[in-house]
Chain A
Amino acid sequence: MARLLPQLVTDAAARDAAHDAVVMDGARTSYGELEAAANQFARSLHAHGVRRGDRVALWLPKSHAAIVALYGAMKVGAAYVPVDSGAPPARLAYIARDCQVAALVTVANRADAIDEALAERPPMRAVWLADGPAERPTCAGVPAIGWNALAAESAAPFDCPALEDDLAYVLYTSGSTGEPKGVMLTHRNALAFVDWAAKTFTLTHADRLTGHAPFHFDLSTFDLFAAAHAGAALYPLPQRLAPFPAAVAKAWSEQRLTVWYVTPSTLVLLLSHGGLERLDLSALRVLLFAGEVMPVPHLRRLMSLAPHARFANLYGPTETNVCTWYEVPAPPGNDTPLPIGRPCPYDDVLILDEALRPVPEGAPGELWVRGASVMKGYWGHPERTALALQRIEVTAGLVDHAYRTGDLVRRRGDGLLEFLGRRDHQIKTRGYRVELGEIETTLLAHPAIDEAVVLAIPDPEITHRLRAVVVARSGAQVIEAELQQHCARTLPRYMVPETIAQADALPRTSTGKVDRRALAGVWSAPPQSPWSGS
């Protein structure tokens, strides 16, 4: 029998059906209930023609129903496609069309927006409304089905007609050419990481995990599937609390959560505004962080607040999930950047130069990754996939597909890998991965704009703040607020530049490229600078 992600819930339910699977908003779903509801949703999907190999989009706030939906989608043999719940309808529409979703799960108050955004609709079979009965017969021209309709379906085990190398989920990330790209990940990819993580961090049914990351962010695959692997309880963070560090810290302390998995930006905010010093953190057993560079002074403070807990830095782009890790043995004595550590046992890493030759020991190079967690490719983009996944010689005589991360690293004398930076314009803000090129392309789509550059200005609390400089078409008048609104129509909020200044021309390097360094310098210059707007 194929080993697939939904089996983790089936097994947990078989061991202890009454144990908490999901605790959120004052409600509890047990593993038995989750298994039954996922079977019902799988049957509802199947009854409407959703089959193995299809995609099921999820565009709704984190909830018990959203978790039922993703397991139900996988049970029918489809891949779930989580779309940022806060993203504008235009982004949902792009993703739904790009990967031709067969079904969409959302909530009732978004149905009108979906009607409008998907007027030119993908071949969807139906739209499920996860927060109650459907009060309308259709949505985007296909049947609208209320969540109450699932009760009519059998909750008996639904045999998952899929194999390990079938897609389990497709995660869309920012794309430098202006369009998000769908990272295709299989059950085998996910389980390589989940099996290792559950074992390495010794998860048991007694654990309670934070569900901080949204489902379109790959940190959520640990929360969801490592919890199910262990039969542990997941505490998804309600959207209402997420922006409030004091509320998040208090909730996690009171719920006595044992395993936290968050971005460094979140930890920095919890430390600076969450009041962690006054809270009881005695239940915290494992604190994992990933997604960006963890500032060492903050880590030291955290370790002093929870001296009994294990701390580990996990590294890996969405395309490989976690591929290297470093467990912090003791509070760092100095501020040397934290290493990203050693490869996880299911992957190999290579450090190569531009000509794809291994660099000398200790020299900087680009990190390539091969192994069980490496993605299948980008949905619908064989040419992008071919650039990112190349067949290279891994060791003498052995050739395999390896993923080119774009991250520059070096191997230290002690064998640990150290992250040095990016070789392109990909940045992190609040843990989100952002291609500056995607924002620039969006700005350039505005009729009044001739040129646009987006800069990431380092920020101690949220990693980077985004600033744009634009050159208007001659005679055109541009208004900052209008450009921001233009961006917000298609981009997630965290990708909209906080300020957009107008310039007569952009500074160039000798090779004719936009001089980003000069522009970044201008931002700290006094307001009378020529770039401060006109």
Chain B
Amino acid sequence: MSATDTEAAIRQFLLAEVFYDRDLQNLRADENLIERGLLDSLGILKTVEFCEAHFGITIPDHEVLPDHMESVRAIAQLVERRRTVPPR
């Protein structure tokens, strides 16, 4: 799966399960989700759960930080980094 595919999967999940806003179809990959108030604590939990299940990775709590989750691109980069880590 390419980096673009990863971004697309995360984007699709966020649009369907977290944002409740179909006007966001044109959301850019680098758009700041936290400043726009789109991701709250429950949204973060759900996104981490989704990424772990969908991509077969683990994301330790200390990696779940604003810089790693602030945009679709940042989340995809976190997923790619965690892929190189052997599963627990």
Contacts and interface: CB of A to CB of B under 8 A. Distances in A.
A345 to B, nearest CB: 35
Contacts of A245: 41, 61, 64
Interface stretch (A234-242, A287-295, A375-383): A234-242
A447 to B, nearest CB: 17
Contacts of A241: 66
A273 B64 contact: yes
A362 interface: no
B5 interface: no
Interface residues of B, number: 21
**Most chain A C-beta atoms within 10 Å of own C-beta, residue among B40, B41, B44:** B41
Given A243-B41, A430-B41, A488-B21, A481 B69 contact: no
Interface residues of A, number: 27
**Most chain B C-beta atoms within 10 Å of own C-beta, residue among A86, A462, A481:** A481
A243 B40 contact: yes
Main secondary structure of the interface of B (DSSP, over half): helix
Contacts of A85: 37
Nearest to A483: B20
A263 to B, nearest CB: 11
A274 B41 CA distance: 12
B1 interface: no
Contacts of B62: 246, 275
Contacts of B35: 240
A244 B20 contact: no
Contacts of A240: 34-35, 66
Contacts of A275: 61-62
B20 A481 contact: yes
B43 interface: yes
B63 to A, nearest CB: 8
Interface string B8-49: 000000001000111100000000001101011111110000
B53 interface: no
A462 B42 contact: yes
B85 interface: no
B61 A246 contact: yes
Contacts of A461: 45
A106 B41 CA distance: 24
Contacts of A493: 20, 37, 40
Nearest to B23: A485
Interface of A: 85-86, 239-247, 269, 273-275, 430, 461-462, 481-482, 484-485, 487-488, 493-494, 496
Interface of B: 16, 20-23, 34-35, 37, 39-45, 61-62, 64-66, 69
